[in-house]
Every structure is written in structure tokens, then in C-alpha cells.
Amino acid sequence: MLILNTNKTNNNMENKGNLVKEVDLVFIARKIRMLGIAILLGIALVYGMGLLVSGNYINEELAMFNVLSFIVCCVFCVPTIFLKQMLLKNFGGENFRNKYFNAHIIPFAMCDLGGLFCIATNLFVNQNLIYATGGFLVSVFFLIINFPKSDDYIKLKV
């Protein structure tokens, strides 16, 4: 009888530990979402300001630079999905908060870098609205994909 009660107590303590981890994960996910929204607003602000101040300066010699900046944006944004999955693979243990945070922030930073590079070079260096808009859309798309999901706790099995 005493052994059964002890086992039940251990299961209850284990469930409370999982509940605490799940609540921690929810709070961290909220912080990550807020940071992601701030990054999205920053990219949109730079893009909007670039559209407002864009002039009529098109240099045909730098046209390849526009294509190159869009390719750089894609090179930085596309692998973020796989990077996030790779970082979340070895998730768990005692540093699960830091690992979960880093698994989202590193892809956010890569998308931000690629998007801002493409937008800045295509609107401020050599005006090309098509590549600037493409870079903006690619970076926003991959930022939104990398947002934390509500079912991460179930998938991760902390």
C-alpha cells in the first residue's frame, strides 16, 4: 500500500514538472512571437521608407547586383526551416528554455539579415522594385513560418 502511494506521488510530481515546463514553454513562445513581430515591423518599415524615398537612380552596370542580393536573401532565408528543425532535434534536458529560444532566434536573425540586405540594396543602391518586393516577401514568409507553434510542446516531448 505504501509503495503504491509513493508511486502515485512520484507520478504527480512528474506531471507537475511537465506542467511547469509547458508553462515555461508558453511564456518563451510569447516572447519569441513578440520579437518576431518586432522584426516583421522593422522589415516592413525599412521597405516602406525605401519605397517613399526611392529615386530614379537606375545604373545598368549594377543590375547583376540586384539579382545577387535577391539570391543572398534566399540563401539566408530558405535554410532557416531546416536549421530550426535541426536545433529542435536535440531539445530537452535542463537547458530547454535556452535551446528553444535559440532555435527560433537564429532563424529570425538570418531572415532579417537576408531581407534587409535585399531591400536595402534594391531600393537604396540601385532601384529595382521587383527584387526589393521579392526579398521582402521571401523574408516575411520565412519569418512567419519560423514562428513558434502552439503544439510545439507535444512534438518536442520535454
**End-to-end Cα spacing for the chain:** 31
pLDDT in tens, 73-100: 999 999 999 999 888 887 666 677 788 8
* pLDDT confidence tier of residue 154, bands split at 50, 70 and 90: low
Domain span at 128: 2-156
What are 11's three cell numbers? 507520478
CA 75, CA 102: separation in Å to the nearest integer?
20
Instruction: Tell me the CB-side half-sphere exposure of residue 28, using CA atoms within 13 A.
Output: 20
Q: In which residue are the cell numbers 513562445 written?
A: 29
What are 146's three cell numbers? 519560423
Cβ-based neighbours of 100, under 8 Å, separated by 6 or more: 25, 28, 29, 88, 91, 148, 152, 156
pLDDT in tens, 4-48: 444 444 444 445 567 777 777 888 889 999 999 999 999 999 999
- Total number of domains constituting the chain: 1
Is it the case that residue 145 has pLDDT exceeding 90? yes
pTM: 0.80
